[in-house]
Structures are given as structure tokens and as C-alpha cells.
Structure 1
Amino acid sequence: MPKKYSYLTVLLWLLIAGCGVTGVTFAGLYLYLNPKLPDVQSLRQVKLQTPLRIYSNDNRLIGEFGEQRRTPINYDEIPPLYIKALLSAEDAQFYDHNGVSIRGLLRAASQLLQTGQIQSGGSTITMQLARNFFLTFQQTFARKFNEILLALQIERELSKEEILALYNNKIYFGNRAYGIQAAANVYYGKNMDELTLPQWAMIAGLPKAPSAYNPLANPERALIRRNWILGRMLELGHIDQPTWKAATEAPATAKYHGLTPELYAPYVAEMARQDAISRFGNAAYTDGYSIYTTVNAHLQEVAQSAIIDGLITYDRRHGYRGPEQQLDPDASDEQWLETLKNIPTYGGLTPAVVSQTDQQSATLLLPDGSEAQLSWEQGLSEARPYLSENYRGEKPTQTSDVLSPGDVIRLRHTAEGAVLAQLPTAEAALVSLDPSDGAIVSLAGGFDFEQSHFNRVTQATRQPGSAFKPFIYTTALEHGYTPATIINDAPIVIEDASLEGTWRPENDGGSFLGPMRMRTALYRSRNLVSIRILRSLGMDTAHESLARFGFDKNALPRDLSLALGSHDVTPLDLARGYTTFANGGFAVQPYLIKRIEAVDGRDVFTATPATVCRDCDNKTPATPSEARTLEELLGEQANAPKANPLPPAKRILDAQTAFIADSMLRDVIARGTGKRARVLERGDIAGKTGTTNGPRDAWFAGYNPEIVTITWLGFDNNTPLGNREYGGSAALPIWIDYMRAALAEKPERAAQRPDGIITVRIDPETGKRAGPQDPDAVFEIFRVDNVPERAEGTDPGNGNQGAPEVLPEELF
């Protein structure tokens, strides 16, 4: 045998032996590793980490919570041209291979032999998917072999479309963006289907190295990568030459788009987040729940704006407290800007540095580096210095009386331009409920959530003052009192150990008006009358009654200060109580969460609040009659009221008591301490002011039949507001601003008089029935069984035989 043939034989046998060894080795690895591989079918049930999202009742995003920004989308929602861009960059033979590209692996092996280091893994889209879901990112041969085996298994069990959908929802694209929809939101502030070809190509270039090709951190490298992908798309025939030319010439437009809620309601978002954590634990942040609240987006915006306006108005009344900071007046603009960048904007009040002052104007440096002029009319002329909560200094005569170079001040931007402002030191809260079921319509827990996370609607317990009196008066109405009952507004001395000795309560202003009707006492907010009413009722009776309105009976004080609102409540507590006056006597519970939706669209929670059903008690089944035809019976059945799917709210006040209490509270606005609200020009609004000693708290609790709103203003440290600050001057203007919008498109609703109520002419001095010819008589409403006696000496007929003693006219 020729020698050369012996060499070929040896080489052939060596090759066969090598292949055999390789085959045995790979077979051994397969037999060893395959049982340890995860179940690919688990990909069908995979839960992608998706953040918790909070929405208003009209589907406007309020907040998002979670480490990873992700919005999973279906395959048919992925733009086809983006898929071509991705495959051009990552896996051009995706539709031709079975999960592994031999060409790619050979290229990776060649790079390894040439350099001695792993340059690329030759991974297909499917292999990358396997790695991201099941494996580590360690560059080892064992991991690569597992990756290959998993890719082959994935291709056997999933379709190409399923693979692409999973990949595009899972892969990290930088800046906390996971999945292409989140990437489109983060880099372009749009949805994926709204982007252009150059933008799709930019996103398609990110999976290879999200940091290296990040268009925000490395715009030049990102642009090179984008244009390379566009060139690959041209080479593979996915786009034509003109399209390629236009796309490569397009400028890079990526910029960071942080989460921008569609509705500013951070106190609401935080309440919803806490609810989600209590229900789902930490899974709330990752399992993609969507919480839909009861909050109305428009009214929420109005509520926050009303709080800001009310606090700034109050703050302006008490004077200018000077600059927020004093910087070196000789520092450079760059040094000032460095400081300005670290000063947040609160409540829309932006910081600025005074760079120069003239006689009656100032030049300001703004955070963006631009300059602005502040004229004398833009708040400088009114900036009287703050001396105390009760006193201000003289009006300034020149700018230097108010500002100096280096002063850090605040600007408020109005329709007329920027004006001098300052961050209020007081705080305020507003909560609005639907009295039919307790749904929270809007909620603002303070001036700015970023300044203070303390939610004063739910966390601040303060004395409500006279805003608490209606609950005492309503209890009196249930125990024989009427609006015409005469009670003496006169000094009283109380010896009570719980009040630390002798207590001599007073009215505001220190005056006493003598005997008066209970209606008058409420709308004029007379303290001594309230105390006498509570003393006559007794503590046990009062506590039992107040518990029905939702107040904690065990926490209520057992002394007569209760009549003046000494029991601490939150604005939400007070709002719950006032819903009973607004809805005609029913108890409802405030709630915020309307429904919770899982990531797959299933509702995992739906609220079923107890809801007012005024007709439920009166429904009686119709009794069939032999005289009725079948058609008549079917017609009656079709027109019968449908059963209420929600549980009925419990009636805690009879309709007559609720009607009378409501009429007295309407008088608070018609002629009492809430008369500023008459500016709304509505006859269906009612409420009560509240002011505590100091005064330290200012309240207004008001409503109409469709909405209940509570406003509060005070200092968190409970210091005095100022001698001339009351519920009617500090809290009521906020209520008016809000209710003007809340009631704008709602027709006025007259009170519905229930059976058992009649109108009687009475003597306003005695509260007894008046004679027909009494010129000073007024109309009052009573229960039928509580009509007062006729005053002595009056002639029932008085020359008018048959004149009615009880008249049907409505006065209120």
C-alpha cells in the first residue's frame, strides 16, 4: 500500500475518532444537563414584573410604583418594521433556524480561537430569551450549552410569534425600561406604534448593550448603532434606498421621559398604594395590578388648586417673611444656578435669585439660567413685613425694603405674569364625598406632597369646633326639640373636674343674646346654647347618637366641651358624618378603591359599597288581580324598579329629622356664619363653619344633595392662625372655589319634603304658634307631632273664621 494512502487512512480514523469523542461528549453533556433544564412550558405562564398603576375613575394615570417600568404588549401590537429592525440587528435568520444558528456559533468560535477571549456568543433571539428567563449572564461553556439546549426546546414548544412577544416584553433597554413599550415611553414619551423608523432602529440597537448604546448616555455611539441597523435593513431588503437615506439623516430625538402622571393626585396615589400593599404584599409592585379609584380627575385638579390658592391668600394676609435663603451677593451666576437647581418647586412656586434691585423693580435669575424682571406691581408693593400672626409692618416704599441681591425668593405664575410669593407655613386639606355611597370624589392632603407626605385628610386629628354642633342639634331634634325651641344664650359656670375646675365658656366676641330659637342659635353658632342642649340631653344619649355618624364612642369626651367640638377628628371623619345630612339620613362609609384589575385584565376586587336607596323601604309587591289582563301584568313587571345590586345603606335618621336638620344647615349659608357662600347663588347648599380656640383651626363643612366637601386650614404645630381668622374667612373660601366647579353643571335640587312635615307660622320671640294677624310671625317647619302650642292671648280666628292654623307654604 502506498505510503500516502496510509497517512490518509490514519487521518480519516483520527477524524472519525474525534467526531466520535465529540459526539459522546455532547451526548454525555446532554444526558447530564437535560434533566436539570427548566420546563419551557413555564414561559406560557410567566409573570413579567410589571409596576402597580393607579388611575382616576375616568382612567387617567395618577401614579406608578415598582422598580421596573414595563407595559407588556401582544405580538400583534408590535410594529412589523420594528421587528425587521430588531432581527436585522440581532438575528437575521430567525425565521430559518430552529433556535440555534450554526453560522453564529462558528463565528463566535473563530473569534475565540483568534483572540483567546469570548467576543460574542453567537446567540440567536431564542437563545437570548432562554438566557434572560432561565440562566445567568456568566460567560461559561456550561451556560452556553444550557442556552443551546433550552433554545432548541423553546423552538419546539413555542411559535416564532410567541418567542418574539416574550423577548420584546422581557429584555432590558436601559433607564429602568423593560420591554419595548416601556422603552418607547422612556426615550420618546410615546407608545411603540407612534414612533418612526429611526426611533424603532434606535430601540432595536439597545438589547446588545443597553449602557453602551444608550441614546441618553452615549448619543454618538447610539447613532452609529442605529445607522448600522438601518444599513442592515437596506442590505436585507426590508427598506428601500430613499427610506434608508431619510432615516439615516434623521436627527437623534431621544430624551428622558420620566413618569409623568396624567393627573396630579399624590395623596390619593399613596393611599391606593398602601391599600395594595395590605392586599398583595410586595407582589403589588411586580404583578401588574391596576387600581381604579373613585376620584374624579377634573375635581381633583380643582381641589388641589383651591388648596394652593386658599393657603397663598391666607399667607399673603399675614405679611412677607423675607427671603427663603440668603446667598453670597458677590457670587457668580453659575454658583447661584448650582444652588437653584437643588431647590425644588412646591405648589407651583418656583425659586429665583435676586441679582439686582432698582428703585421699584428687581432683576431675577431663574433656574433655567434666564433673567426676569419683577415690577413694583408684581407683589412688591404689597409685601408688608410679617411681625406676628396678628400684625404686619408698614407698606414698603422701595424695592430695597423687600429684597436684596442674593435673596432666594419664590415666584407664582399667574395669567397676568409672575408675582412675588412665598411658601405658606400653614397647611390645608380638602376631601369631597359622594353622599349616595361614600365614594371619595377628590382629596388633597396638603399644599404639596413632595414638601410633606403627611396626609391631613386622613392623618391630622384636629378639633372641629362649631362644625361639630350639627350632630348635637340633630340629636336634640330626635329628643323633642324643634327649630323653634327657645334656649337661653346666657353665661353659664360649670364645675367639672374633667375640665380642671371651673369653666366659663363664652361665645365668639364675648356677647350673649339671651333667649333665642334653636334654628337661630345654630346659624349664628352660639356656644352657650349648644352647651345647654348637650347638658339637657345627657352624655350617654349624646354618645350613642354620635356613634351612628361614625364617631368612636369610646374616644368621645364625657364633658360639655363636646358641644363645642373638642373631640379630635380628621376631615374624612367629619365628611362621613355630613353625608347623612346630605343624603336624607343614611350612613355610608368613605371608600377610594373602585376596582382592582390584574395584569391579565381580570377584576380581582370590585367595591360593593352600601348605597342609599330611598325607595327601598317603601317597595311593596304588587298583588295580582283577577281583573288584570296578562298584558297588564307583564307591563307592570317590565316597568317595576330594578333591584339594587348593591347593599342598601342603613338609615340612621328618620326622614323628618334629616329634613329639618338640613333646613337649619341651609340657613347657615342663607343668613348665618357661612353667608359668603351665597356668592354661588344656589339654594340647595348647606353647611357649618368651625373655628377653635386661638383660633387654631378653621373649618367649613358643607354640601348639597350630590356632594359633601370638608375644608380645613391650620398649622401642623397647632399654633394660632391670627385673631381675625375664622372658618368663614380661612376655610370657606377654599370650599367656595371648589364647589363652584363641582356644582357648575348640576341643576339646583330643592329639598324633598317627606311625609309628616308641616309648615307653621310662629312667633319668633316665643317659638309658639302665632295668630293669623301677628305681623312679626315667621314660618317654621315641624314634625306633625311636634307642632308648638298657640301663644297665650292669641285669637285663633281673630276675625277670620276658618283660617287655617297650619299653612302648607314652603319658606326654606
Structure 2
Amino acid sequence: MLSFQLKAKFKFLFLKLNTISMIQTTFKTLKITGYLAFSAICFVTLIFSGVTLCLIPNLPPVEEIQDIQLQVPLKIFTEDGKLIAEYGEKHRSPIDYHEIPSNFINALISAEDNRFWEHQGVDLIGLARAATQLATTGSIQSGGSTITMQVAKNYFLSREKTFSRKFNEILLALQIERSLTKEQILELYLNKIYLGHRSYGISAAARTYYGKSVQDLTLAQTAMIAGLPKAPSAFNPLRNPERAIERRNWILERMSALNYISSSQKVVAQQSPVTAKYHAPKSEIDAFYAADIARTEALKLFPKDIYTGGYKIFTTINSTQQQAALNSIATHLENYSKRHGYFGPENNIDISTVLNSQENSADVQPLTALLKDYRQINHLIPALVWEVTDKEANFITRDGELITLSTKQLTWARQHISTNKKGPRIRKASDVVKQGDIVRVYQDSDSNDWKLGQLPKAQAALVAINPNSGAINALQGGFEFYASKFNRVTSARRQAGSAFKPFIYYSALEDGFTAASIVNDAPVVFQDRQLETAWRPENAGGKFYGPTRLRQALYQSRNLISIRIVQTLGIQQTINTIKKFGFPEQHLPKDLSISLGSAAVTPLELATAYSIIANGGKSITPYLIDHIEDFNGKIIYQNPNAHKAITPITPESSEQITESTDNTRSSKTSSDIDPRSIYIITDMMKDVIKLGTGRRAKELRRNDIAGKTGTTNDQVDAWFSGFNGDLVTTVWVGFDTPSTLGINEYGGRAALPIWVDFMKKALPPYENTLKQPEGIVTIRINPTTGHRALPGEKDAIFEIFRSEHVPPPPEEDNARPVLIDQGHPTDVLDELF
């Protein structure tokens, strides 16, 4: 019994001693562990402090954070604020925080950072989760980034996944939170994030995917865009609609769980179908030729950041006039094209397999898919012929619209054989199209009826200038910019033909001729040793009309009289006068062909020269950019020509008196433009419309318009340039590779209709006629002789003169005689007409 008790005591004592030893050991272990933990914490703290001290100097200053500049594309507008074009790699339209719908903010926070309003830039729970994922998987699964950290990364840091960048991100996020409000941080984030299809920021994404503003998005659409920041490609509703729906519905679940939306709202939104479609940035007016000029000029002014600085260029383009230019060119190039026959389909494909494989004949998707590579060009829409009978043809457009055209509607489409030859008459629809043809159709703007069209092979250019300021109101450099970016208004240098004659006639008036001067319209032959044959210039139609008054010669566009004028004045004197209108001398031929318009000019140069006539003889500089604003709306460039009063061309102080070789005339040469001669030439050009080759313009029913047609040899180039006191418009029609437009395709038929239709829309309702300057006298004359009429003389007409050139009374009449048939031998003729 004692032994048992002793054993028990010893056992108890042993256990006690063992427990005490264990406790002591535990305390020692804890003490060591504590020291180690404390040392580790100190070590980590030292490392973190060291890294922090090392990285902080490289962080952007607070001022830079508070003055963050987004990369915003260049935008170009008309004078009335309509968007023409946008240039830049990133589509972005920044919006203010108060413009962002609350649903969007809630959706984003639910998806990206649900503790955004609580944390100070860094979410420790999120970082711990990311660290755990790294420890368990051996790779970075998520960065644990908050919205603030993403702002830091997107604006200031690279996207590489390194620890040093993550440290920078954390430090910068803390600094951002101290510098900006939560609202400012969200605004930066929502304007910066990439959301696919070159769209940066939610405003651009709303336009790209849904074609509307972010304020107009539905809850389902809002959640869809809110799901994009995580992976714009993976969750893109256009490329991966299934994954996009999964991501959207998960966000809606989160919004419901966080009480941002009700359960019923969640269910309705989750059941919504994908409605996203690609919407390219839309311009409000097609003025791309003008926009390209403005962009090029702005690039010279701001070469470093023109596409990212958010600049806005306001041009002088008037949207109403520009639309009129587009419509008139499209309509009349189409009419010209139809006059010369049908060129045939753009392509033909075998669609029998597609038609036979269709289970549902009403399903048009397989047919419309065949047109995906064909885009609309101007007003012409691609269409596929899927069925043809003798009486009609059935078409389908890329948008799935079904069109039926009868044989009667296709009768214009006789086969184009050559410019001047067409095939036989159309008797049935199958004479024109066959199954599988890819063609062009369009809707008539007046009747809304569908019609068969075709892409014209000819081109046209139109430019309209305010002659009192030089502002370019409308500019269309071709049928369609994206079909051909070559700007024919500024770059196509073509012979002007008779549209150049007003400057020849002005030279004559400056030399002492009058509108009543008689010049002989008779054959003339010029010999030149460098030519194989003699030059025998003719009038259009090959007829000659004998003695003709200068006024009549201009409105009837008599070639021989223009030649005789230049022959009488001398080529160099003529060139010296013409240069006053801004034509580059190097493009003015130094031979008699200048009298027929062989000078190569651009439509812009011709319109500028006509502007000097329209405003009474004052110089202008045409300009397209009115002003440029920066991102904040501050004007940083104002065109010096904008709103600047036009000034008379300064005359030289010296005058040179020259004698003619036959001692019968003298001329005065100076660099000024006489407003009296301008007034007379304008009055003569009004008769081009009232009585001459521009008679079609009479349908405008105005008394203040003047102009001149122009056609070069073999109808290669067709022109009309005309004006009133408010607007000068020049139109050119031709082929890019010079060739004939066809028989009878003169300026009055090919170009003038474009001018007339444009001016119907562009001219103001009131008339604006050039005011008569001092020194102008009106006298009755004999229309046959050009002499002053006798009192009571029948058939006498009124004519205007400069006061010093008034014909003397009949008994004192020593007027200039009719010019002789033969003239001085011409200089070398580089180009013949």
C-alpha cells in the first residue's frame, strides 16, 4: 500500500516536473518565435520602407495627378457645329461624373471593387486573396487591384505583372486617394478604360456597341459594358456573346446582392437578348475632302499631339451647302453615267447552292451574307439579283430589303459599248441582269422609288467660296471620299477651256476694247515650223460668224475672237493681266493657246479668280479653317483671314505706256484691277446665262447671277463657274485619266446642271448684284457696228462703257476698225485646241 502511494506520489511529481519543463520550453519557444516574428516584421517593415523611400521619388507629383490629360481624338466640325470627322487611334468622348448614370457606377463597383467607397485606395482583403492565390497556385491569378489602383496603373504605370510595379501601384493609389475625391477617381477611370473596338471610356463604348449615349442605355446594356474592363476581348458582346451574357448576368447578380437593384429588375435584365452591334463613329455631314485638308493643316500647327490632344477644328463649311454639293454631284454623275449605258454588274456569283440549301425560303441571311464585302458608296447600295424573269428582276440588299424592278424601270440600262455607243434597246429584264449579279440600287429622293444604278466612272468636283471673305462654304473633291481620296478641287490641274475666257476679255477691256468693239470671227491659219501641220482653230460646231461685238462673242464663246484678242494684245501683256487674278504664271502657256483656255488650273484656283470678279476686283485668300479650340474649349488658333475685310489689290506706283506695232493703239499696264472693267465683264457674263451657253441657269429665275461654261477639245473637261455677290461656285466634270466625256457633253450639259442644282439650295433668297462703280456710262449703240446710235435709230441697244471709252458721236466716230483676218504668227504652240 505504501509502495503504491509512493509510486503515485513519484508519478505525480514526475508529471508536475514534466509539465513545468514543458511550460518553460513553451515559453522559451514562444519567446524565440516572438523575437523571430518581431524581427521578421521589422525586416519586412525595413524592406517596405526602403522600397517605399526608393520608389516615392519616382512617383508623379500631386499636381500631375490633379491635372491628368486624357488622350482625346481630333474632331472636325462645320461652321454650324456639325461633326464631320474624327481622327485618332482611340475613340473617346470624356464625360463628367454628374453625367454618369448611377446604374453604371453601381454596376462597375459591383464588378470591379465593391468596397470602393470604404477603402483608402488599397483593399487589404483583396491583396490577401491575391497573395493566397499566388501561394497556392504558384502564379498571379488576380492583382487584388482596386479601381484607384487601376487608375494609377492606366495613367502612370506599365501593364507588366511585376512586384515593383505592384508596389508603385499601391503607393500611387494611396497618393491618388489623398489628392482626389472618390468621384474624381471614378470619372478618371470611366473615361480611361479600354472597352474594345478602339473604344476608350464608357461614353465611346456606348456609341460603339449601341449607337447611343451612356445615359440612354438599359440596365442590361449597362451591365454588359461594365463587364468589359476585366477582359474586353473575352467578354465582348460582338465576338463572344455567350461569355458576355455570363459576365453580364453575374454582374446583375452582384448588383442585386448589394441591393443596387431589385430582384425583379435583375430577372428582366438577365433575360434580355444581346442587342449590341458595331456602330462606327458617325459624322453628321459628309465633308471628308474638306476634313482631310483641315487635318493636314492642323498637323502643321500642332504636330506633337494633334490626334490625342482633344483639339476641335471649326471649318468654314456650311452644312446645308455641303449637303447640296453632295446631292447635286451624285445625281448628275448618275445621270451622265446613265446617258452612256450600263457597264454591267460589279460581280456575279453562283447562288444556286445557297438557294437550294435553304430550308426556309423566307430566311434571307445566307443571301445578305454574300454582300458583306460590299459597302455603300455615296447613295448607291449594293444588292444581289436572286431571281429574274422577262417582266421583272428581284434584288436583295445587304440589309435584307427585297426590291422588285420591272423591265420598264430598267430600259435605261442599254449595254455600254463605248463612250458614244450603246447596245440595243431593252425588251426584257434578263437583257440587263441575271441571277447572281451584284449591282447597285438607290432610292429616288423625290419619289422614294427604288432604281437600278451604277458607280460612275467619270468624276466631278465642286467648290463654293464666299467672295467677300474667302471662306470655303462647300467642297467636294469627287464622287465619294472613301472610294477615291484624291481631292480634285485642290489637286486636279486641268485645262479650263472657255471658262478661262472672262480673264482674256478683261485683258481686252483693260487695253481699250469695249463690250461694243467689233472683232472679226473668221478663219485663221497659223504656221509653225515645230508643227507638222498648220493650226486651224475653229469654233464649236465649225462655223464662223464674221464681225461680232465683244459682248456677243463672250456669251457665245467664240474661239476665233479670243485668239484675235490675245494676238492683238500680245501674249506677255495678256499673261501680266491674268496674273492679277492669282493664277500661277508657271501654269500659264506662253502662246496663243492661252486664249482658248489651255492653262492648267485647279477648280479652287478658278473659283478664287472668279471671286475677284464677283466682289468687284478685290483680292481674297481662300481658307477652310476658321479656328481651333483645345480640349477645354479655349481658342488656340484663329485663322488670320477669317472675318478679315477684303482689300483692293494694290496698284504699282509706275505705269508703262506701250505703243502697238501698227501705231493704231496704246495700252496702259499696271498691277491694279479696275472695278469698272470688272463691272462690265460681270455684266457681259450675265448674258452667258440670259442668252448664251449657260441658259440652263435661267431656271433659277434670278437677275444677279453670272458665269461661264468651259469645254476643252473632244469634251475631255467640262466646266461651269458662276457667281453672285454672295457666292462663287466652280464645277468640273471629267475622267481622272483624261479622255472624252462623249459627243455633246459640253460644260453646259455635263457641269452646269450640277451648278444649278447646288445654287438652288445654296443661294440666299435675296439678290445681290455688284454695285455700279463711278466712271461707268450707259449709251445706246448700233448692235451691228458697235457705234453710238443716231437719235431715233431703230434696233439700237444699250451698252455700258468706261467713261473714257464712250464711243464718239456718229459724225466723230473713229472707232477701232474690224481686226484683219491674218494675224501675227503665233509663238510655239505646246497644246492645240
Relative to the length of structure 2, the TM-score reads 0.87
Question: Any stretches of 5+ residues in structure 1 without a counterpart?
Answer: 618-649, 795-812
CA deviation after TM superposition for structure 1 residue 52, in Å = 1.2
Secondary structure at 2:548 match in 1: strand
CA deviation after TM superposition for structure 1 residue 430, in Å = 0.9
1:103 matched to 2:125:
yes
Specify whether residues 241 and 651 from structure 1 end up closer, same or farther in structure 2 by C-alpha distance, changes over 3 A only. farther
Instruction: Identify the residue that residue 74 of structure 1 maps to in structure 2.
Output: 96
Specify whether residues 431 and 332 from structure 1 end up closer, same or farther in structure 2 by C-alpha distance, changes over 3 A only. same
Instruction: Identify the residue that residue 766 of structure 1 maps to in structure 2.
Output: 785
CA deviation after TM superposition for structure 1 residue 141, in Å = 2.2
Query: Which deviates further from its counterpart, 482-491 or 13-22?
Result: 13-22
Name the aligned partner's letter for residue 396 of structure 1: I
Query: Which deviates further from its counterpart, 23-32 or 667-676?
Result: 23-32
Contact 1:586 1:652 in 2 (8 A): no
- Paired with 1:738 and 1:370, the residues of 2 have a C-alpha distance of 31
Query: Which deviates further from its counterpart, 395-404 or 297-306?
Result: 395-404
- Paired with 2:396 and 2:202, the residues of 1 have a C-alpha distance of 40
Percent sequence identity over matched residues? 49
- Paired with 2:597 and 2:284, the residues of 1 have a C-alpha distance of 39
Contact 1:588 1:610 in 2 (8 A): no
Contact 1:234 1:244 in 2 (8 A): yes
1:413-442 per-residue CA deviation (whole Å, 9 max, x = no partner) reads: 223422222221111111111111111111
- Paired with 2:586 and 2:343, the residues of 1 have a C-alpha distance of 43
Specify whether residues 41 and 329 from structure 1 end up closer, same or farther in structure 2 by C-alpha distance, changes over 3 A only. closer
Name the aligned partner's letter for residue 418 of structure 1: W
CA deviation after TM superposition for structure 1 residue 610, in Å = 7.0
CA deviation after TM superposition for structure 1 residue 186, in Å = 1.2
Instruction: Identify the residue that residue 208 of structure 1 maps to in structure 2.
Output: 230
Aligned match for 2:586, one of 554, 557, 581: 554
1:506 matched to 2:538:
yes
1:381 matched to 2:411:
yes
> How does 1:711-726 map onto structure 2 within 5 Å?
711-726=731-746
Contact 2:580 2:671 in 1 (8 A): no
Contact 1:436 1:611 in 2 (8 A): no
Aligned match for 1:788, one of 798, 804, 807: 807
Name the aligned partner's letter for residue 465 of structure 2: L
Contact 2:497 2:711 in 1 (8 A): yes
- Paired with 2:161 and 2:812, the residues of 1 have a C-alpha distance of 108
Instruction: Identify the residue that residue 772 of structure 2 maps to in structure 1.
Output: 753
Between structure 1 and structure 2, the one with the greater Rg is 2
1:721-770 per-residue CA deviation (whole Å, 9 max, x = no partner) reads: 11211111111111111111112x42123442222212110001111111
> How does 1:324-363 map onto structure 2 within 5 Å?
324-328=346-350, 330-333=352-355, 339-363=370-394
Instruction: Identify the residue that residue 804 of structure 1 maps to in structure 2.
Output: none
Contact 2:709 2:721 in 1 (8 A): yes
- Paired with 1:686 and 1:793, the residues of 2 have a C-alpha distance of 34
CA deviation after TM superposition for structure 1 residue 135, in Å = 2.2
Specify whether residues 84 and 324 from structure 1 end up closer, same or farther in structure 2 by C-alpha distance, changes over 3 A only. closer
- Paired with 1:356 and 1:201, the residues of 2 have a C-alpha distance of 45
Specify whether residues 38 and 693 from structure 1 end up closer, same or farther in structure 2 by C-alpha distance, changes over 3 A only. same
Name the aligned partner's letter for residue 733 of structure 1: P
Specify whether residues 614 and 114 from structure 1 end up closer, same or farther in structure 2 by C-alpha distance, changes over 3 A only. closer
- Paired with 2:349 and 2:248, the residues of 1 have a C-alpha distance of 46
Secondary structure at 2:527 match in 1: strand
1:509-528 per-residue CA deviation (whole Å, 9 max, x = no partner) reads: 11111111100000010011
Name the aligned partner's letter for residue 654 of structure 1: D
Contact 2:103 2:219 in 1 (8 A): yes
Instruction: Identify the residue that residue 795 of structure 2 maps to in structure 1.
Output: 776
Instruction: Identify the residue that residue 49 of structure 2 maps to in structure 1.
Output: 27
Instruction: Identify the residue that residue 595 of structure 1 maps to in structure 2.
Output: 627
Specify whether residues 435 and 652 from structure 1 end up closer, same or farther in structure 2 by C-alpha distance, changes over 3 A only. farther
1:174-199 per-residue CA deviation (whole Å, 9 max, x = no partner) reads: 11111122112112222223334433
1:445 matched to 2:495:
no
> How does 1:184-203 map onto structure 2 within 5 Å?
184-203=206-225
- Paired with 2:590 and 2:338, the residues of 1 have a C-alpha distance of 40
Secondary structure at 1:210 match in 2: coil
- Paired with 1:572 and 1:228, the residues of 2 have a C-alpha distance of 59
Specify whether residues 205 and 615 from structure 1 end up closer, same or farther in structure 2 by C-alpha distance, changes over 3 A only. closer
Instruction: Identify the residue that residue 677 of structure 1 maps to in structure 2.
Output: 697
Instruction: Identify the residue that residue 18 of structure 1 maps to in structure 2.
Output: 40
- Paired with 2:529 and 2:810, the residues of 1 have a C-alpha distance of 41
Secondary structure at 2:215 match in 1: helix
Aligned match for 2:344, one of 317, 322, 325: 322
1:544 matched to 2:576:
yes
CA deviation after TM superposition for structure 1 residue 267, in Å = 1.2
Instruction: Identify the residue that residue 219 of structure 1 maps to in structure 2.
Output: 241
Secondary structure at 2:302 match in 1: helix
CA deviation after TM superposition for structure 1 residue 496, in Å = 4.3
CA deviation after TM superposition for structure 1 residue 497, in Å = 5.6
- Paired with 1:714 and 1:703, the residues of 2 have a C-alpha distance of 22
1:729 matched to 2:760:
no
Secondary structure at 2:495 match in 1: coil
1:677-707 per-residue CA deviation (whole Å, 9 max, x = no partner) reads: 1111111111000010011111101111111
- Paired with 2:557 and 2:587, the residues of 1 have a C-alpha distance of 24
Secondary structure at 1:451 match in 2: coil
- Paired with 1:58 and 1:681, the residues of 2 have a C-alpha distance of 29
CA deviation after TM superposition for structure 1 residue 249, in Å = 4.5
> How does 1:70-219 map onto structure 2 within 5 Å?
70-219=92-241
Instruction: Identify the residue that residue 433 of structure 1 maps to in structure 2.
Output: 465
Instruction: Identify the residue that residue 485 of structure 1 maps to in structure 2.
Output: 517
CA deviation after TM superposition for structure 1 residue 339, in Å = 4.6
Name the aligned partner's letter for residue 431 of structure 1: V
Q: How many residues align?
A: 760
> How does 1:563-642 map onto structure 2 within 5 Å?
563-609=595-641, 613=645
Query: Which deviates further from its counterpart, 210-219 or 466-475?
Result: 210-219
> How does 1:222-241 map onto structure 2 within 5 Å?
222-241=244-263
> How does 1:229-308 map onto structure 2 within 5 Å?
229-281=251-303, 283-308=305-330
CA deviation after TM superposition for structure 1 residue 651, in Å = 10
Contact 2:65 2:179 in 1 (8 A): no
Specify whether residues 369 and 439 from structure 1 end up closer, same or farther in structure 2 by C-alpha distance, changes over 3 A only. same
Specify whether residues 295 and 500 from structure 1 end up closer, same or farther in structure 2 by C-alpha distance, changes over 3 A only. farther
Name the aligned partner's letter for residue 760 of structure 1: I
Secondary structure at 1:281 match in 2: coil
CA deviation after TM superposition for structure 1 residue 244, in Å = 4.3
Name the aligned partner's letter for residue 398 of structure 2: P
CA deviation after TM superposition for structure 1 residue 370, in Å = 5.5
Instruction: Identify the residue that residue 646 of structure 1 maps to in structure 2.
Output: none
Specify whether residues 612 and 465 from structure 1 end up closer, same or farther in structure 2 by C-alpha distance, changes over 3 A only. farther
Contact 1:327 1:336 in 2 (8 A): no
1:696 matched to 2:729:
no
Relative to the length of structure 1, the TM-score reads 0.89
CA deviation after TM superposition for structure 1 residue 39, in Å = 3.3
Instruction: Identify the residue that residue 674 of structure 2 maps to in structure 1.
Output: 654
Aligned match for 2:436, one of 393, 402, 406: 406
Specify whether residues 754 and 711 from structure 1 end up closer, same or farther in structure 2 by C-alpha distance, changes over 3 A only. same
1:218-247 per-residue CA deviation (whole Å, 9 max, x = no partner) reads: 333333333333333343343445554554
Contact 1:486 1:766 in 2 (8 A): yes
Name the aligned partner's letter for residue 433 of structure 1: I
- Paired with 1:278 and 1:118, the residues of 2 have a C-alpha distance of 46
Secondary structure at 1:172 match in 2: coil
